[in-house]
Structure 1
């Protein structure tokens, strides 16, 4: 993947066909809060109503073409010093370093863009081994396991809390 360029950019409606590639893949949606998309019109509606208005939701592009998504949801009020990172990637690209690079780019960007941000958090299902490895490679600190923390698709899940502070060193 070294010779291929990984970039982040805002989504557009015209990304729907590329988005459908991974959004319709059960392997990708397995650990996501949303169900696998089976209809392009439903996905377009999701893009219009959820993704475009989101404060920081980016396409992960490989040579300019969307292959995944990464989002940062800033907290508000007394919690405004932190926010949560989430991501997804086309399954055929898993294990190739794409997500590690995308997370580095995203973290660097949100720390630069969001005034007062001191902490980026990520909650990962204990069974999502690939995602656990990505965060460790980027330099996130594993803070602990939050037992029975999240209901995912009707089942209570244990989640691992990771964090990266604005003072931590990462190399994009």
Structure 2
């Protein structure tokens, strides 16, 4: 069974994490038009109706169908407004590991939304999906992302020197992680009042192999929280 199959819906006190759909077209168009830079690399960056519609209908869900990861919209619980994105990528079912990446809209930063979203996703991955380790990497200069990792109970492991290339320069990344033996985060446990998950998402995904899935993983991986 693929733990990413079915509808994934994680609910917190202020945010809801859910799959993208065609209903998100206006929000995505607004983001692209405003030149906001939080979207993962695989998301559309040009205002073209057909590619955006295809992406929201099919493209954004490919990694989930193959068990290679998941892209979720971060939305306001009360308003339904698109606040950002979060997802798991580089999922390795042989070693039960994954990376997590997220990005928040400028108007939603500094308000605790990223912390809540990260807590929900990491607990879901470790407690419900069968993963043992979730890794987060943040650029050493991204103090906001570092604070989010620390507030969410991620353990700082060290610095990966020159691990991320940006603007032609290799940048250092701080490596954080949470593992399944860590103490669960209060209010972010699947099945608790603060977190709800849609049906059809329990169990560990079967590992996928072969050229097609490897190519999909390389093309559609989620962007890190740099």
What's the TM-score once normalised by structure 2's chain length? 0.64
Higher relative contact order, structure no. (Cα contacts within 8 Å, ≥ 6 residues apart): 2
Match of 2:87 among 54, 71, 76: 71
Q: Kindly indicate whether the alpha-carbon contact (under 8 Å) linking 1:18 and 1:66 is maintained by their aligned counterparts in 2.
A: yes
Q: Kindly indicate whether the alpha-carbon contact (under 8 Å) linking 2:38 and 2:104 is maintained by their aligned counterparts in 1.
A: no
What's the TM-score once normalised by structure 1's chain length? 0.82
Report matched runs for 1:1-150 at 5 Å.
5-26=14-35, 28-29=37-38, 33=41, 37-41=45-49, 42-48=51-57, 50-55=59-64, 56-62=70-76, 63=78, 64-76=80-92, 78-79=94-95, 81-115=96-130, 117-150=131-164
SS of the equivalent of 1:15 reads: helix
Q: Kindly indicate whether the alpha-carbon contact (under 8 Å) linking 1:142 and 1:162 is maintained by their aligned counterparts in 2.
A: yes
CA displacement 1:110-156 (0-9 Å, x = unmatched): 223322x1111011111211111101100101111111112235332
Aligned residue pairs total 166
Q: Kindly indicate whether the alpha-carbon contact (under 8 Å) linking 2:100 and 2:135 is maintained by their aligned counterparts in 1.
A: yes
Larger Rg: 2
Gap runs ≥5 in structure 1:
none
**Structure richer in helix, relative to its length:** 1
For residues 98 and 77 of structure 1, what CA distance do their matches in structure 2 show?
Answer: 29
TM-superposed CA distance for 1:60, in Å, is 0.5
Gap runs ≥5 in structure 2:
1-12, 65-69, 189-226
For residues 99 and 13 of structure 1, what CA distance do their matches in structure 2 show?
Answer: 23
For residues 96 and 84 of structure 1, what CA distance do their matches in structure 2 show?
Answer: 23
**Change in 2 beyond 3 A, CA 1:113/1:50:** farther
Deviates more, 1:21-30 or 1:142-151: 21-30
**Change in 2 beyond 3 A, CA 1:23/1:119:** farther
For residues 68 and 13 of structure 1, what CA distance do their matches in structure 2 show?
Answer: 16
Q: Kindly indicate whether the alpha-carbon contact (under 8 Å) linking 2:161 and 2:171 is maintained by their aligned counterparts in 1.
A: yes
